[in-house]
Chains A and B, each alone.
Chain A
Amino acid sequence: MVEKETTVGPEAGLHARPAARFVKTAKEFSAEITVIKGDKEANAKSPLKVMTLAAKKGDGITIRAEGDDAQEAVDALVELISQDEH
Chain B
Amino acid sequence: MDAEVKGKITGVAASEGVAVGPVFVHAPGELEPERENISEDAVEDELARFQGAVEAVVKKLSETAEGLRESGSEKEAGIFDAQIEMAEDPEVQEGVEERVKNLESPEVAVISVGEEYATLFAEMEDEYMAARADDVRDVASQIAAELMGHEATGLSALETPSVILARSLAPSDTARIPKGIALAFVTAEGSRTSHVSIMARSMGIPAVVGVGPDLEEAFEAETVAVDGGEGYAAVDPDPDTVAEFERKQERIEEEKAALEEYKHVEAHTGDGQRIEVSANLGSAEGAEDALGWGAEGVGLFRTEFLFMERPKLPSEEEQYEAYREMAQAFGEKPVIIRTLDVGGDKDLPGVDQPEEENPFLGWRGIRMCLDVPELFKPQLRAILRAASHGNLKMMFPMIVDAREVRRAKEIFEECRRELEEEGAETGSVEVGIMVETPAAVLCASEIASEISFFSIGTNDLVQYTLAADRGNERLRHLQGADHPAVLKLIEETCRAAREAGIWVGMCGEAAADPELIPKLVEMGVTELSMSAPSIPRAKKVVSEI
* Chain A residues engaging chain B, CB cutoff 8 angstroms: 10, 15-16, 20-21, 23-24, 43, 45-49, 51-52, 54, 83, 85-86
Contacts and interface: CB of A to CB of B under 8 A. Distances in A.
A49 B128 contact: no
B221 to A, nearest CB: 39
Contacts of A21: 347, 355
B26 interface: no
Nearest to A46: B91
Given A24-B347, A85-B355, A85-B357, A46 B128 contact: no
Interface residues of B, number: 21
Nearest to A12: B128
B4 interface: no
Given A51-B132, A54-B129, 6 more contacts: A15-B126, A23-B85, A45-B90, A47-B86, A51-B121, A86-B355
A46 B136 CA distance: 13
Interface of B: 82, 85-86, 89-92, 117, 120-121, 124, 126, 128-129, 132, 136, 347, 354-357
Counting chain A CB atoms within 10 Å of each CB, which of B82, B126, B347, B355 scores highest?
Answer: B355
Nearest to A56: B126
Nearest to B86: A48
A15 B92 CA distance: 18
A15 B90 contact: no
Given A85-B356, A85-B357, A54 B90 contact: no
A36 B308 CA distance: 31
Nearest to B132: A51
A51 B91 CA distance: 12
A12 to B, nearest CB: 8
A20 B84 CA distance: 12
A47 B85 contact: yes
A44 B215 CA distance: 43
A16 B128 contact: yes
Contacts of A47: 82, 85-86, 89
7 contacts: A15-B126, A15-B128, A24-B347, A47-B82, A49-B91, A52-B121, A83-B355
Contacts of B356: 85
